[in-house]
């Protein structure tokens, strides 16, 4: 079971730290360039045109993954379609395909005249600096996957919050970022995970929930661990249909899973614990 879980993590891990891409037009009299930012399943996406300060939000129209090549050891192919949103209206459509950081079939179709522009990735000789950005509920989220622990949130009203994310005591690690509705209120939240300080067999999570009242992101308060096997928010997953949040950790030869649900006050309440012997 754990071997299967590890395989799935390897196959989807690229989505959790998708780096931005610089794209350029092809076959146009006047070339234009833009940078595309996006997160898991295309969420939190936006584009910023070179030489422009403003950013343009992208709304996920469709996302799918072609897994047919897995049996032959081939990477998945991800297909994204976004609506370009300006002042709440669809202004155009972006299409983007990627297979293990190799992009193809990129295009932008302008809404007003249905003109299609072909785009291609700009090869950057510089090493990726690890910086990531998402646009979520109008707020710009900025962070780094590798080299620092700074997390900055710039809200639509211009106010900024700066947070220092948790980090393991390791010389190098990868910070994953996940956009998901962790408290099942219909609004996406943001989470970051890093390897645990031990053998790195599970990941420690910082989860920031979007508060619709204050229109701010607030860190998820850790639950009472007195009945839990894992005293951490580690290997966090959710079960949407049952509105359950699950955590997992390892102790000796056993894997432990704690199950929680959100109470009336919005805090995590323990439901059950399951154990599984290492195979």
Look at residues 105, 121, 137 and tell me which one is the last residue of a structural domain.
121
What distances in angstroms separate CA 34 from CA 71, 94, 204, one per listed residue?
36, 12, 34
In the chain, the number of structural domains is 2
Same domain for 54 and 8? no
Residues in the chain predicted with pLDDT less than 50, given as ranges, are: 1-15
Residue 153 is assigned to a structural domain of this protein: no
Hunting for tokens 């509920």 — which residue is that? 137
Same domain for 83 and 183? no
Residue 102 is assigned to a structural domain of this protein: yes
CB 167 within 8 A of CB 153: no
Same domain for 39 and 78? yes
Question: Which residues span the domain enclosing 99?
Answer: 20-121
Residue 125's pLDDT is 64
Residue 140's pLDDT is 98
Look at residues 121, 138, 156 and tell me which one is the last residue of a structural domain.
121
Same domain for 236 and 173? yes
Residue 147 is assigned to a structural domain of this protein: no
Residue 253 is assigned to a structural domain of this protein: yes
Beta strand 244-251 pairing with 237-239: antiparallel
Question: Where do the DSSP E strands lie in the chain?
Answer: 21-25, 33-37, 46-49, 56-66, 77-86, 89-99, 102-110, 116-121, 131-136, 139-144, 150-154, 160-164, 176-180, 189-195, 203-211, 216-219, 237-239, 244-251, 254-262, 268-277
Same domain for 103 and 171? no
Look at residues 64, 94, 121 and tell me which one is the last residue of a structural domain.
121
206 Cα distance to chain centroid: 13
What distances in angstroms separate CA 263 from CA 61, 112, 163, 184, 213, one per listed residue?
33, 48, 26, 12, 18
CB 190 within 8 A of CB 181: no
What are the tokens at 212? 């619709």
Residue 88's pLDDT is 93
Same domain for 68 and 101? yes
pTM listed for this prediction? 0.88
Same domain for 178 and 267? yes
Q: What are phi and psi of 68, to 5 degrees?
A: -60, -25
What are the tokens at 33? 């360039």
Rounded distance between C-alpha atoms, residue 59 and residue 81, angstroms:
9
Same domain for 8 and 39? no
Rounded distance between C-alpha atoms, residue 29 and residue 43, angstroms:
32
CB 209 within 8 A of CB 191: no
Residue 146 is assigned to a structural domain of this protein: no
Same domain for 6 and 60? no
Residue 139 is assigned to a structural domain of this protein: no
Same domain for 6 and 26? no
Which contacts of 143-146 are long-range, i.e. CB under 8 A and separated by 24 or more positions?
143/175, 143/177, 143/192, 144/175, 145/17, 145/19, 145/174, 145/175, 145/176, 145/177, 146/172, 146/173, 146/174, 146/175
Residue 68 is assigned to a structural domain of this protein: yes
Q: What angle is formed at CA 46 by the lines to CA 45 and CA 47, rounded to 5 degrees? A: 140
Residue 12's pLDDT is 39
Same domain for 211 and 108? no
What are the tokens at 167? 């980090």
Sheet containing 131-136: order of strands:
131-136, 139-144, 150-154, 160-164
Residue 128 is assigned to a structural domain of this protein: no
Same domain for 32 and 6? no
């Amino acid at each position: 079971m754990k071997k299967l879980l590890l395989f799935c993590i390897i196959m989807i891990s690229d989505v959790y730290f998708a780096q931005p891409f610089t794209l350029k037009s092809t076959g146009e009299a006047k070339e234009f360039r833009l940078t595309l930012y996006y997160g898991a399943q295309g969420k939190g996406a936006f584009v910023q045109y070179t030489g422009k300060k403003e950013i343009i939000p992208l709304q996920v129209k469709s996302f799918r993954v072609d897994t047919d090549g897995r049996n032959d050891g081939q990477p998945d192919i991800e297909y994204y379609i976004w609506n370009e949103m300006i002042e709440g209206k669809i202004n155009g459509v972006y299409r983007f395909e990627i297979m293990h950081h190799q992009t193809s079939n990129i295009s932008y179709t302008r809404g007003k005249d249905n003109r299609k522009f072909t785009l291609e990735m700009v090869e950057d000789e510089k090493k990726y600096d690890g910086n990531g950005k998402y646009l979520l509920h109008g707020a710009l989220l900025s962070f780094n996957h590798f080299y620092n622990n700074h997390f900055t949130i710039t809200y639509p009203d211009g106010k900024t919050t700066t947070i220092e994310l948790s980090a393991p005591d390791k010389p190098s690690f990868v910070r994953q970022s996940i956009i998901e509705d962790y408290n099942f209120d219909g609004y996406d939240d943001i989470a970051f995970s890093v390897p645990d300080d031990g053998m790195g067999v599970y990941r420690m999570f910082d989860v920031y929930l979007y508060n619709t009242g204050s229109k701010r992101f607030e860190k998820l308060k850790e639950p009472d661990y007195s009945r839990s096997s894992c005293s951490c928010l580690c290997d966090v997953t959710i079960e949407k249909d049952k509105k359950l949040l699950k955590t997992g950790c390892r102790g000796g030869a056993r894997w432990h899973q704690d199950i929680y649900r959100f109470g009336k006050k919005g805090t995590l309440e323990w439901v059950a614990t399951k154990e599984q012997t290492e195979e």
